[in-house]
Amino acid sequence: MAQINVLTTPIIQQKIKWVLDPVGYLREAYKQHPDIFTASISGLGSDSLVFVSHPQAIQQILTNDRQQFFANGELNSILTPVVGFSSLLSLDGENHKRERKLLMPSFHGERMEIYADLITEITENIFSNLKQGEVFIARELMQEISLQVIMKIVFGLSEGHRFDRMKDLIKAILDRFNNPINISFLFYDKLQKDFGAWSPWGSFIRTRKALDELIYNEINLRRQENNQDKNDILSTLLTAVDEEGQPMSDLELRDELMLMLFAGHETTAIAMTWALYWLHRQPEVKTKLLAELAENVDRDGASIFKLPYLTAVCNEILRIHPVAMLTFPRQVMTETELLGQKITKNTVLLGCIYLTHHREDLYPEADKFQPERFLNRQYSPYEFMPFGGGVRRCLGEVLALYEMKLSIVHIITNYDLSLAEKKVLKPKRRGVVLSPESGVKMIFNGKK
């Protein structure tokens, strides 16, 4: 198989750099080949991948989803130890289409109003525990908010032993893969050996088993209750049937619930953490945002969601710091051309969200935080794609943005915060996503 724009960096160095410093890896690769290059890294279904960061090529890939390019679920194997083989992440073709259809009603925009008060209430409860002058890690608080929101929305749980136990196990799994050494166990399946509870992989297996038991118990409990009035996602999915009248199996439910719990809360928490960082690093942005909020007399969730400057701020956060670096892999089904380069059959392609979002031809002074750029220009889905695109576009996009906007608005209008460190923070690998180094240390200066 012919390789396109091969990097001069030795392969072993590429593999190590990708795990330890993915942003550095991408920036160095971009200098060699800005639009398209072959990456020799691991953990993404193939050791030889073609990264694409030119919007024209990304458009070609995403608009030919399912025909010329195939979103093969097997290429997402890096996360199957956590979310299984029956979630949207692992499925493809008709199975993926069926499952997505069953899940879609749970994330419909109209349902967001139900969640508005819940998001604000949870945010208030968590911030009300802070004492004046207390230094806190923003990511930890944002994770607590987001985890409580997702558990309430997905399971309808907000307190009690089941809630506490499930929350602790989810945190334990996330913490296990929050550093480059541990994440290598997901990238390299040869490391996935169970040497007992004391070993990294053995400990993960046992934690996952305990969480599985809780989730299956919750599914069985709900089936027995058969309560049609509950509006959490699990209750909705238990009544959902496909076109042939078939419901979701317990295994399908377990895998989709795991995907929602893990993909649905940490990503949003990281985006909210970056929001607090930039709003307090560039106070003129916060001042402008507060002025827009002051003019919004309704203050209900729907009207807040539509505010133009708030939307521009959130978009710029997701542009400069996309939580996910890459789109889902696509497999080339027939020989084709991208940007004048011949692409052979079975080549694995990935749109590089991070590099696309940092292109100077699209975003002048790309490393500067400038929300106004989203007021001055309308970007296409192939130029700005924090939630991916095509048949793999994130189903929880509206919920994530809703939570991000409502939580941030509640925090900046009710509390006086400041950054505890003046240094510029950089994105660092946390599992398979990017998160601010040190988690953003902040000072709670009291209620407004």
Q: What is the pLDDT along the chain (448 residues), one digit of tens a residue?
A: 457 898 888 988 988 898 889 999 999 999 999 999 998 886 555 556 899 999 999 999 988 766 788 887 777 777 788 888 888 878 788 888 888 888 888 877 677 778 888 999 999 999 999 999 999 999 999 999 999 999 898 888 778 888 899 989 988 888 777 766 666 667 667 777 877 778 778 888 899 999 999 999 999 988 888 766 777 888 888 888 888 889 899 999 999 988 888 877 889 999 999 999 999 999 999 999 999 999 987 778 888 999 999 999 999 999 999 988 999 888 899 888 999 889 988 889 999 999 999 999 999 999 999 999 999 999 999 999 999 988 888 888 989 999 999 999 999 999 999 999 989 999 998 878 899 998 999 999 999 8
User: Tokens 């599914």, residue?
Assistant: 219
Residue 401 backbone phi and psi in degrees, to 5: -70, -40
| Tokens of residue 261, six digits | 């719990």
CATH 1.10.630.10 for domain 11-447, yes or no, is: yes
| Tokens of residue 233, six digits | 């996602």
Residue 346 backbone phi and psi in degrees, to 5: 75, 0
Q: Do residues 427 and 319 make contact, with C-beta atoms less than 8 angstroms apart?
A: no
User: What pLDDT is stored for residue 321 in this prediction?
Assistant: 96
Q: Which residues contact 76 (CB under 8 A, 6 or more apart)?
A: 45, 89, 90, 328, 329
User: What pLDDT is stored for residue 83 in this prediction?
Assistant: 80
| Rounded-to-integer distance, Cα 366 and Cα 201, Å | 39
Q: Do residues 25 and 355 make contact, with C-beta atoms less than 8 angstroms apart?
A: no
Q: Which of 378, 312, 381, 326 is nearest to 354 (CA)?
A: 326
| Tokens of residue 346, six digits | 């079975």
Q: Do residues 112 and 398 make contact, with C-beta atoms less than 8 angstroms apart?
A: yes
User: What pLDDT is stored for residue 201 in this prediction?
Assistant: 80
Q: Do residues 385 and 327 make contact, with C-beta atoms less than 8 angstroms apart?
A: yes
How many residues does the structure list for the chain?
448
441-447 β-sheet, strand order: 135-137, 441-447, 415-419
Q: How many CA atoms lie within 13 A of 21 on its CB side?
A: 9
User: What pLDDT is stored for residue 356 in this prediction?
Assistant: 98
Axis crossing angle, helix 138-155 with helix 397-414, rounded to the nearest 10: 130
**Cα dihedral 103/106/108/114 (nearest 10):** -170
User: What pLDDT is stored for residue 105 in this prediction?
Assistant: 82
> What is the rounded radius of gyration, in angstroms, for the C-alpha atoms of the chain?
22
Q: Do residues 157 and 191 make contact, with C-beta atoms less than 8 angstroms apart?
A: no
Q: Which of 91, 30, 111 is nearest to 359 (CA)?
A: 30
Q: Which of 423, 448, 411, 418 is nearest to 136 (CA)?
A: 418
Q: Do residues 329 and 75 make contact, with C-beta atoms less than 8 angstroms apart?
A: yes
User: What pLDDT is stored for residue 239 in this prediction?
Assistant: 87
Classify strands 341-343 and 135-137 as parallel, antiparallel or unpaired. unpaired
Question: What is the per-residue burial (b if ≥16 Cβ within 10 Å, else e) of 292-305?
Answer: bbeeeeeeebeebb
Classify strands 135-137 and 49-52 as parallel, antiparallel or unpaired. unpaired
User: What pLDDT is stored for residue 199 in this prediction?
Assistant: 79
User: What pLDDT is stored for residue 106 in this prediction?
Assistant: 81
| Tokens of residue 267, six digits | 């990503």
User: What pLDDT is stored for residue 44 in this prediction?
Assistant: 56
